[in-house]
Amino acid sequence: MAHSEALNILQDIKTATFKNAAPLPHKEQVQAQWQGLGFLVGGTRLVSKLGQVAELMPVPRLTPLPAVKPWVLGIANVRGRLIPVISLHEYLQLPTTLPANQWRVLVVEEGDIVAGLLVEQSLGIQHFLEDSYEESDGKDLGGLSPYVTGAFRHGGRVFHEVQLKAILKDEKFFDVALGKENKA
One-letter amino acid of 81: R
Strand partners, 19: none
**Predicted pLDDT at 30:** 67
**Predicted pLDDT at 25:** 64
pLDDT band at 180 (very low <50, low <70, confident <90, very high): low
Pair 152, 145: CB distance under 8 Å: no
pLDDT of 175 > 80? The answer is yes
**Predicted pLDDT at 29:** 61
pLDDT of 166 > 70? The answer is yes
**Predicted pLDDT at 142:** 84
Q: What is the 3-state secondary structure (H, E, C) of the chain?
A: CHHHHHHHHHHHHHHHHHHHCCCCCCHHHCCCEEEEEEEEECCEEEEEECCCCCEEEECCCCECCCCECCCEEEEEEECCEEEEEEEHHHHCCCCCCCCHHHCEEEEEEECCEEEEEEECEEEEEEEEEHHHEEECCCHHHHHHHHHEEEEEEECCEEEEEECHHHHHHCHHHHCCECCHHHCC
pLDDT band at 28 (very low <50, low <70, confident <90, very high): low
Q: Quote the CA–CA distance of 40 and 58 in Å, as a whole number.
A: 14
The domains of the chain, with CATH numbers, are 31-182 (2.40.50.180)
Q: What is the mean pLDDT of residues 10-36?
A: 78
| Tens digit of each residue's pLDDT (9 = 90 or more) over 51-64 | 999 999 999 999 99
Q: Quote the CA–CA distance of 138 and 92 in Å, as a whole number.
A: 13
As a whole-number percent, the residues of the chain with pLDDT over 90 amount to 57
pLDDT of 79 > 60? The answer is yes
pLDDT band at 77 (very low <50, low <70, confident <90, very high): very high
Q: Which residue has the higher pLDDT, 19 or 54?
A: 54
